[in-house]
């Protein structure tokens, strides 16, 4: 049971005056304050949210009229600092606003708070946040997943009907899976990245975390499409994403062989197999599909991602954004001290790996090779998606792990992303929807489609969601 009505219904009732935006904002703020021990929220935007709510009540229009939402704290939102949960950005106030936020606000949505994340979105648990670790709403001794862990926890804790996340290697889908939410990673380029702290620019995407597929589709519908401020953006489907067609019967679904292999917990596998049987019984054809380069995807990601991270993080030099080391006596020292005191362990690790794989002498052996295998992976996905409509498997190899369990072992932490990174490297849309539980913790079913088939994917996922409840 959700404390919130479907998003389209909230907006409709605000438009007719049956619900007041001011009350919705108060409900969100009260829930955030009541549940602050979960550490999902970095900052609330009370004054701004209340002001906007009053303006909306005076003129209640927009497809998201009065709908409160929470942005991961790597989105630039007016009236708040954008920290990306990193000490180096403490005190950095947004000079402009992310396109995604602009578009949501233009339809009447209200940003009430900013959510916790792994610093700079590097991580799978929020334990890399420089501020705090978010707790899983199902079991507070476990992580919520990451890096959009604050966003996923906030939605499941009913702090708002939806939250925004970013997904560079799984950061929307993994926390959705661990927390029992719906997490949508659109086709690369479908949502503008303007005004969002860059992680790895060739795989970064923005998407919603919600409780239902219909809510995710409506939010995507509002945010998506070309934007002059991000040259990689693509046109949205002319039919939009808000009205979905049923798309299960007669469809061909490929179960990814490599995603059901050794390493996936048997209890997780059992839930996915049960979901597959349900999908089959509802009239979809199910076949097994092999993507032979998939076992290399994680290695490829952890070369390409740090390479791009090392470049994107070079701008934080203590001169332009947030933290600057106070007692430096030269510019050189200011750069060094600002960066060494401002960045956390994981950011430093990625800067070192990234500059190493890009350095002359190692470029061919690592970066170039990784790009070659990435191309192979893209070709394999393209080929597979010519013979099947959707690809499917678990979102994560296991349920949410215990806080602290993987923190001293980066390789183990990276392994939690093993099933999510491929969609980012290839640029295809991918969704995680709840598919039962294992050991009383949520399990996520991951479904992917070909690039620009977001509408078909959401339609299919909505139907599957209906079958699995
Ligand atoms: N967990 C992955 C990483 O640490 C993915 C992060 C993300 O998608 N932002 O790189």
- Is residue 440 pLDDT above 80, yes or no? yes
Determine what percent of the chain is predicted with pLDDT higher than 70: 100
Residues 6+ apart with CB under 8 A from 55: none
Q: Tens of pLDDT along 450-467?
A: 999 999 999 999 999 999
Ligand 1 pocket mutation pick from 305, 306, 344 by most atoms within 8 angstroms of CB: 305
Residues 6+ apart with CB under 8 A from 279: 248, 253, 286, 392, 464, 467
Ligand 1 pocket mutation pick from 75, 119, 129, 146 by most atoms within 8 angstroms of CB: 146
Q: Tens of pLDDT along 305-323?
A: 999 999 999 999 999 998 9
Q: Is the distance from CB of 418 to CB of 263 less than 8 angstroms? A: yes
Ligand 1 pocket, 323 CB below 6 A?
no
Indicate the pLDDT class of residue 131, thresholds 50, 70 and 90: very high
Mean pLDDT of 83-98: 96
CB atoms within 10 A of CB 28: 27
Of 13-22, 112-121, 167-176, 243-252, the one with minimum mean pLDDT is 243-252
Mean pLDDT of 236-259: 95
Mean pLDDT of 353-378: 97
pLDDT (0 to 100) of residue 246: 82
pLDDT (0 to 100) of residue 62: 98
Mean pLDDT of 32-53: 98
pLDDT (0 to 100) of residue 469: 79
Q: Distance between alpha carbon 446 and the CA centroid of its chain, in Å?
A: 13
pLDDT (0 to 100) of residue 42: 98
pLDDT (0 to 100) of residue 2: 82
Q: Tens of pLDDT along 1-21?
A: 689 999 999 999 999 999 999
Ligand 1 pocket, 169 CB below 6 A?
yes
Q: Contacts for 226-231 with beta carbons within 8 Å, 24 or more apart?
A: 227/99, 227/192, 227/194, 229/99, 229/192, 229/194, 229/195, 230/99, 230/189, 230/192, 230/193, 230/194
Residues 6+ apart with CB under 8 A from 69: 104, 109, 110, 111, 112, 160, 161, 162, 163, 164, 219
Mean pLDDT of 389-408: 97
How close is the Cα of 229 to the center of ligand 1, in Å?
A: 24
Indicate the pLDDT class of residue 283, thresholds 50, 70 and 90: very high
Indicate the pLDDT class of residue 137, thresholds 50, 70 and 90: very high
Catalytic residues: 72, 147, 171
pLDDT (0 to 100) of residue 125: 98
pLDDT (0 to 100) of residue 1: 61
How close is the Cα of 169 to the center of ligand 1, in Å?
A: 5
Ligand 1 pocket, 406 CB below 6 A?
no
- The rounded distance, in Å, linking the Cα atoms of 188 and 166 is 11
Q: Supply the mean pLDDT for the chain.
A: 97
- The rounded distance, in Å, linking the Cα atoms of 303 and 425 is 11
Q: Distance between alpha carbon 449 and the CA centroid of its chain, in Å?
A: 17
Indicate the pLDDT class of residue 381, thresholds 50, 70 and 90: very high
Atom of ligand 1 nearest to the CA of 200: 9
How close is the Cα of 200 to the center of ligand 1, in Å?
A: 9
Structural tokens at position 33: 């304050």
Q: Is the distance from CB of 306 to CB of 347 less than 8 angstroms? A: no
Ligand 1 pocket, 170 CB below 6 A?
yes
């Amino acid at each position: 049971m959700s404390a919130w009505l479907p998003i389209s219904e909230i907006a409709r009732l605000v438009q007719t005056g049956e619900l007041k935006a001011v009350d919705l904002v108060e409900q969100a703020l009260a829930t955030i304050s009541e549940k602050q021990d979960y550490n999902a929220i970095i900052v609330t935007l009370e004054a701004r949210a209340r002001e906007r709510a009053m303006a909306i009540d005076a003129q209640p229009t927009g497809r998201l009229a009065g709908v409160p939402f929470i942005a991961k704290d790597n989105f630039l939102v007016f009236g708040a600092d954008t920290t990306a949960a990193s000490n180096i950005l403490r005190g950095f106030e947004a000079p402009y606003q992310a396109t995604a936020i602009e578009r949501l606000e233009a339809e009447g949505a209200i940003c009430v708070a900013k959510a916790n994340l792994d610093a700079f979105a590097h991580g799978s648990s929020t334990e890399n946040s420089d501020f705090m670790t978010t707790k899983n709403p199902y079991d507070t001794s476990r992580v919520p997943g990451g890096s959009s862990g604050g966003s996923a926890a906030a939605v499941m804790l009913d702090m708002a009907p939806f939250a925004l996340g970013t997904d560079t290697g799984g950061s929307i889908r993994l926390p959705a899976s661990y927390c029992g939410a719906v997490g949508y990673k659109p086709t690369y380029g479908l949502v503008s990245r303007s005004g969002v702290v860059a992680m790895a620019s060739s795989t970064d995407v923005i998407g919603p975390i919600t409780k239902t597929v219909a809510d995710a589709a409506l939010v995507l519908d509002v945010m998506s499409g070309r934007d002059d401020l991000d040259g990689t953006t693509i046109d949205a489907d002319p039919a939009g994403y808000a009205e979905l067609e049923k798309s299960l019967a007669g469809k061909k679904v490929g179960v990814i062989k490599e995603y059901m292999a050794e390493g996936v917990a048997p209890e997780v596998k059992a839930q996915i197999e049960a979901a597959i049987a349900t999908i089959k019984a509802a009239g979809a054809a199910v076949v097994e599909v092999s993507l032979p380069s998939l076992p290399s995807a994680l290695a490829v990601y952890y070369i390409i991602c740090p390479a791009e991270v090392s470049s994107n993080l070079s701008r934080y030099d203590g001169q332009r954004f947030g933290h600057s080391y106070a007692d430096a006596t030269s510019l050189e020292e200011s750069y060094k001290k600002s960066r060494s005191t401002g960045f956390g362990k994981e950011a430093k690790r990625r800067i070192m790996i990234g500059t190493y794989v890009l350095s002359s002498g190692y470029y061919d052996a690592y970066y170039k090779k990784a790009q070659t295998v990435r191309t192979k992976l893209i070709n394999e996905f393209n080929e597979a998606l010519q013979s099947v409509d959707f690809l499917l498997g678990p979102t994560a190899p296991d349920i949410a792990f215990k806080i602290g369990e993987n923190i001293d072992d980066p390789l183990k932490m990276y392994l939690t992303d093993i099933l999510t990174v491929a969609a980012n490297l290839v640029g295809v849309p991918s969704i995680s929807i709840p598919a039962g539980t294992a050991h009383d913790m949520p399990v996520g079913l991951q479904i992917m489609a070909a690039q620009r088939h977001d509408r078909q994917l959401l339609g299919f996922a909505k139907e599957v969601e209906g079958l699995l409840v």
